[in-house]
Structure 1
Amino acid sequence: MTAQEPRYSDRFIDLPNFRVHYIEAGTGHPVVLLHGAGPGATSSTNFSPSIGALAEHFRVIAPDMPGWGESDTQNDDTGRDHTAVLIALLDALDIPRAALVGNSMGGITAFSTSIAHPDRVSHLITMGTPAPTVMSFSPGNGPTEGMAVLLHAYREPTAENMKRLVQVMCFDQSMATDELAQARAKAAEARPDHLANWNSQFTGTPAPWPYLQLADKVRSITAPTLVIHGRDDRVVPLENSLHLVTRIPNSRAIVLNRCGHWAQIEHAAEFNQLVTSFING
Structure 2
Amino acid sequence: MTLDLTESGTSRELKLDSATVHYNDLGEGHPIVLLHGSGPGATAWSNFRPNIPELASRFRVLALDLPGWGGSQAVPMGERDHPRTVVEFLDALGIEKAALIGNSMGGVDSLATAALYRDRVSHLITMGPASKPRPGLFGPGGGLSEGMKILVAGYRDPSQETMRRLVDIMSYNSGDASDAIAAERAAAAQANPEHLKHYLEGLATGHSPISRWATPEQLMGITAPSLLIHGRDDRVVHFESSLELVSLIPDSRLVLFNRCGHWAQLEHAAEFNRLVADFVANN
Unaligned regions of 5+ residues in structure 1, if any? none
Name the counterpart of 1:66. Answer: 67
Alpha-carbon distance between aligned partners in 2 of 1:196 and 1:11, rounded to the nearest angstrom: 25
Alpha-carbon distance between aligned partners in 1 of 2:155 and 2:134, rounded to the nearest angstrom: 24
TM-score, structure 2 normalization: 0.91
Alpha-carbon distance between aligned partners in 2 of 1:236 and 1:175, rounded to the nearest angstrom: 24
Name the counterpart of 2:248. Answer: 247
Q: For residues 94 and 77 of structure 1, do their structure 2 counterparts lie closer, same or farther at Cα, with a shift above 3 Å needed? A: farther
Alpha-carbon distance between aligned partners in 1 of 2:271 and 2:46, rounded to the nearest angstrom: 18
Letter in 2 for 1:245: V
Alpha-carbon distance between aligned partners in 1 of 2:235 and 2:132, rounded to the nearest angstrom: 18
Matched residues, number: 275
The CA deviation at 1:39 is 0.5
Kept in 1, the 8 Å contact 2:77–2:207? The answer is: no
Alpha-carbon distance between aligned partners in 1 of 2:226 and 2:235, rounded to the nearest angstrom: 23
Matches within 5 A, 1:157-168: 157-168=158-169
Determine if the alignment matches structure 1 residue 122 to structure 2 residue 122. Answer: yes
Matches within 5 A, 1:5-154: 9-75=10-76, 78=79, 80-134=80-134, 141-154=142-155
The CA deviation at 1:17 is 3.2
Structure 2 SS opposite 1:37: coil
The CA deviation at 1:216 is 2.6
The CA deviation at 1:143 is 1.1
Name the counterpart of 1:279. Answer: 280
Name the counterpart of 2:138. Answer: none
TM-score, structure 1 normalization: 0.92
Alpha-carbon distance between aligned partners in 2 of 1:223 and 1:275, rounded to the nearest angstrom: 14
Q: For residues 175 and 271 of structure 1, do their structure 2 counterparts lie closer, same or farther at Cα, with a shift above 3 Å needed? A: farther
Alpha-carbon distance between aligned partners in 2 of 1:177 and 1:250, rounded to the nearest angstrom: 36
Q: For residues 201 and 76 of structure 1, do their structure 2 counterparts lie closer, same or farther at Cα, with a shift above 3 Å needed? A: closer
Name the counterpart of 2:186. Answer: 185
Alpha-carbon distance between aligned partners in 1 of 2:214 and 2:278, rounded to the nearest angstrom: 32
Taking only the aligned residue pairs, the percentage that are identical comes to 47
Alignment deviations for residues 125-173 of structure 1 (CA, whole Å, 9 cap, x no partner):
00001102549xxxx7211100111011111212211110011000013
Q: For residues 228 and 161 of structure 1, do their structure 2 counterparts lie closer, same or farther at Cα, with a shift above 3 Å needed? A: same
Query: Mean alpha-carbon deviation: is it higher for 249-258 or for 210-219?
Result: 210-219
Alignment deviations for residues 95-146 of structure 1 (CA, whole Å, 9 cap, x no partner):
11000000000011100001110000000000001102549xxxx7211100
Alpha-carbon distance between aligned partners in 2 of 1:273 and 1:63, rounded to the nearest angstrom: 22
Structure 2 SS opposite 1:234: coil
Kept in 2, the 8 Å contact 1:170–1:260? The answer is: yes
Kept in 1, the 8 Å contact 2:232–2:256? The answer is: yes
Structure 2 SS opposite 1:233: coil
Kept in 2, the 8 Å contact 1:133–1:215? The answer is: no
Alpha-carbon distance between aligned partners in 2 of 1:72 and 1:102, rounded to the nearest angstrom: 20
Alpha-carbon distance between aligned partners in 1 of 2:110 and 2:227, rounded to the nearest angstrom: 12
Structure 1 SS opposite 2:108: helix
The CA deviation at 1:215 is 2.7
